[in-house]
Structure 1
Amino acid sequence: MKLDIDLAHSSYDIIIEKGIFSKLSDEIKKVFTGNKIFILTDKNVDKFYGDIVIKELETAGYEINKLVLEPGEETKAFFTLPKVYDELLNFKLTRSDLILTLGGGVIGDLGGFVAATYLRGVSFIQCPTTLLAQVDSSVGGKVGVDLDRGKNLVGSFYHPKKVIIDPNVLETLSDRVFNDGMAEVIKYGCIKDKEFFYKLLNYKNKEEVMNNIEYIIHNCCKIKKEVVEMDEKDTGERMKLNFGHTIGHALEQHYNYSKYTHGEAVAIGMYEITKISESYGETEKGTADIIKNILIKYNLPYKLDVDINEIKEAMKLDKKNINKKLNLIFIDKIGKSKIVQRVLKNE
């Protein structure tokens, strides 16, 4: 399966194909004519795919260097950047060379930010290895790092030359990491696609999900592609992709990224924001319960275990906070979303 993203200053393909990592060089050659490739990955991914990818690329004649980082959100931080830049300088990477991000959202976001800033911009290709990265963070050009006071507060819009997705790599994910990605999959149904939402709700088990995984990834990427093409710089329609994220990001930060995965925090955010919007009369009654049911089905949390006033300061630092008003994403009902401005006050 193939999708093309067509933007004013950039266009690239998303390739979704089981087993494509075994012919990675063929896809790279379509967009890259240089010789040096720098692979950025983490220990979890390297254990399964590092040697396979290096062997395939070296056999095709590329000169390869690899940096393996610690897994986890803590790595997506400013202090990691000098280490990566040093490795690029030691490898003598130039603007005619390539960075390849092999990993989940942390590696993709960090590697993309490095690509955007090193020598004022070098080419990169995304090879996302988690479901969350495949359906969300690898597509759309958002790259960045976290600060102590909040997530993704430093970053840029910088698009890859290509996104190469091999659904087979999901077989090596733990159930928790797989379900983490399902939270973002569910989000797409909530905001844009009622039929898709109810398909997800009706799948019998993980085996049935995996039997339909190419369709699931393709549908999520298709929705994101259409939104990004409409609003690349996140000033309007694209904000809807952050449904559940305002509370989710604040919750992640509250626990120093140690208690909840990103998807788990977003799951809680989707349920909690829908309870709030129902209480305002902005959302069809019973919608929060429908969301709760699908989150339970995919072993995702839904209940906020902290007083919302404790995380409101972090919510105010959200990038959607403009002129002291926070753009919150509500859904009218499953499949239909909207942006609503609210002033956050401690209660």
Structure 2
Amino acid sequence: MEKTIPVVTKSHSYEIRIVTQGLANLLGEIQRVWSPRKIALITDENVGPLYAAKVQQQLSKGGFAVQLITIPAGEASKSWEFLEKIIQQLAAGHFSRHDGVLALGGGVVGDLAGLAASIYLRGIAFIQVPTSLLAQVDSSVGGKTAIDLPTGKNLVGTFYQPDLVLIDPAVLTTLKRRSLVEGYGEVVKCAALVGGNFWQLTGNIENYQAIRQAAAELIEASVRFKAQVVAADETESHQRQLLNFGHTLGHAVEQAAAGRLFHGEAVAIGLYQLSRLFERRHLTAAKTTAQIAVRLKAVGLPLSDPQLGTPAFYQALQHDKKISNQQLTLIYLKQIGQPDFYRRPLNQIITWLQQELLTTGK
């Protein structure tokens, strides 16, 4: 498979390339957009041993000078500590504005490497090579970069578009089951927002093995949708907020779970719980939540968690980065394929959630 999806934004235009076995021809893909230069190859302790040496070898043959930077795997690396370490290594390596950063890994690597590239020397070139399903369908597309703070996820970041996103579905064969499945939570989110054939496609995924079999098609559908939304609203001033469906509750339960939940698992919980509550208010069409639940449960994604509705959950909710003037906008579905905005004072939403989670159970 080889697909090219253009992303045209006000700040920068680039291509998302979905190429099966694309990692084997990484040099050719990089040479499409970059001349020879120094490259900081940023990866983590899980992905590095699988691919870093091969990537270095390819790039070196093409005249690129590669400096490998490896961070610990996991969300904890999205921190001031590791952001500073990366920037210090870029400075020590005398990287200039002509040089570049290549992120090889999942969403943590992409978010962290992208933020470093966006602020070092006020911005140097950046390429994303996402190796997890979650990163391929979500975090590598759209130019969001970030690190976390103790009070919440992604509270420090920039909008910084890459020069290229190279997605190779073949690398998903190395993912463990849980890591593969969590990425599917974001796929279901996109499919629910789009509806139509995309939603029907997710209805054919009856177990986690089917995710790999349909990976290229699922990735393409997700990326085409997100690229369209990002092109229309690069900095999330309006329409791009639709992509937050499931994320407000999901981020809060993820934060409260303190590392026990993967991001995609938390999003799955957010999708289900929010739809259930809006369906009870008759704002979401009947049986919508059941359709979402079937797709999530088919691959083993959770629908709830003990942290849902705890003090830690509400504390995290109050630090949601989408709060503006003490108003919070929730994204919900009128029905599959018809998302809408629900903007209310934060205290009203918290009171509503407290009442609903107590009366309906978790």
**TM-score, shorter chain, exceeding 0.5:** yes
Match of 1:112 in 2: 114
Give the drift of 1:131.
0.4
Match of 1:210 in 2: 212
- C-alpha distance in 2, partners of 1:2/1:84? 31
Match of 1:30 in 2: 32
Match of 1:184 in 2: 186
Residue 45 (structure 1) aligned to one of 47, 51, 75: 47
Give the drift of 1:205.
4.0
Give the drift of 1:237.
1.0
Residue 201 (structure 2) aligned to one of 170, 182, 199: 199
Match of 1:175 in 2: 177
Match of 1:303 in 2: 304
Asked if structure 2 preserves the Cα contact closer than 8 Å seen for 1:34 and 1:96, the reply is no
Asked if structure 2 preserves the Cα contact closer than 8 Å seen for 1:95 and 1:121, the reply is yes
Which moved further from structure 2: 60-69 or 128-137?
60-69
One-letter amino acid of the structure 1 residue matched with residue 102 of structure 2:
L
- Over the aligned positions, Cα root-mean-square deviation in angstroms equals 1.3
Which moved further from structure 2: 30-39 or 260-269?
30-39
Asked if structure 1 preserves the Cα contact closer than 8 Å seen for 2:192 and 2:336, the reply is yes
* Residues 307 and 87 of structure 1, relative CA distance in 2, 3 Å threshold: closer
Give the drift of 1:206.
4.2
1:13-63 Cα deviation digits (max 9, x unpaired): 000011111111111112112421110000100111111111111122211
Match of 1:345 in 2: 350
1:237-261 Cα deviation digits (max 9, x unpaired): 11111111001111111122x2100
One-letter amino acid of the structure 1 residue matched with residue 73 of structure 2:
P
- C-alpha distance in 2, partners of 1:259/1:210? 24
Match of 1:280 in 2: 281
Give the drift of 1:306.
2.8
Task: Look up the SS of the partner of 1:2 in the other structure.
Answer: strand
Task: Map residues 178-327 of structure 1 onto 2, 5 A cutoff.
Answer: 178-256=180-258, 258-308=259-309, 310=311, 311-327=313-329
* Residues 47 and 254 of structure 1, relative CA distance in 2, 3 Å threshold: same
1:100-122 Cα deviation digits (max 9, x unpaired): 00000000000000000001100
Q: Does 1:71 align with 2:77?
A: no
Instruction: Give TM-score scaled by structure 2 length.
Output: 0.93
Which moved further from structure 2: 332-341 or 181-190?
332-341
One-letter amino acid of the structure 2 residue matched with residue 262 of structure 1:
H
Give the drift of 1:342.
2.2
Give the drift of 1:273.
0.5
Give the drift of 1:217.
0.8
Which moved further from structure 2: 235-244 or 192-201?
192-201
Match of 2:154 in 1: 152
Asked if structure 2 preserves the Cα contact closer than 8 Å seen for 1:110 and 1:145, the reply is yes
Task: Map residues 75-86 of structure 1 onto 2, 5 A cutoff.
Answer: 75-86=77-88
* Residues 148 and 204 of structure 1, relative CA distance in 2, 3 Å threshold: closer
One-letter amino acid of the structure 2 residue matched with residue 87 of structure 1:
Q
1:73-126 Cα deviation digits (max 9, x unpaired): 000011111211111112111110010000000000000000000011000100
Residue 133 (structure 1) aligned to one of 132, 135, 138: 135
- C-alpha distance in 1, partners of 2:206/2:314? 38
1:249-280 Cα deviation digits (max 9, x unpaired): 11111122x21000000000000101111122
Task: Look up the SS of the partner of 1:71 in the other structure.
Answer: coil
- C-alpha distance in 2, partners of 1:246/1:30? 38
One-letter amino acid of the structure 2 residue matched with residue 2 of structure 1:
T
Asked if structure 2 preserves the Cα contact closer than 8 Å seen for 1:126 and 1:138, the reply is yes
Give the drift of 1:309.
5.2
* Residues 99 and 307 of structure 1, relative CA distance in 2, 3 Å threshold: closer
Give the drift of 1:207.
4.4
Task: Look up the SS of the partner of 2:128 in the other structure.
Answer: strand
Which moved further from structure 2: 184-193 or 313-322?
313-322
- Which residues of structure 2 form unaligned runs of 5+? 355-362
- C-alpha distance in 2, partners of 1:69/1:81? 10
Task: Look up the SS of the partner of 2:304 in the other structure.
Answer: coil
Instruction: Give TM-score scaled by structure 1 length.
Output: 0.97
One-letter amino acid of the structure 1 residue matched with residue 245 of structure 2:
F
Which moved further from structure 2: 126-135 or 199-208?
199-208
- Which residues of structure 1 form unaligned runs of 5+? none
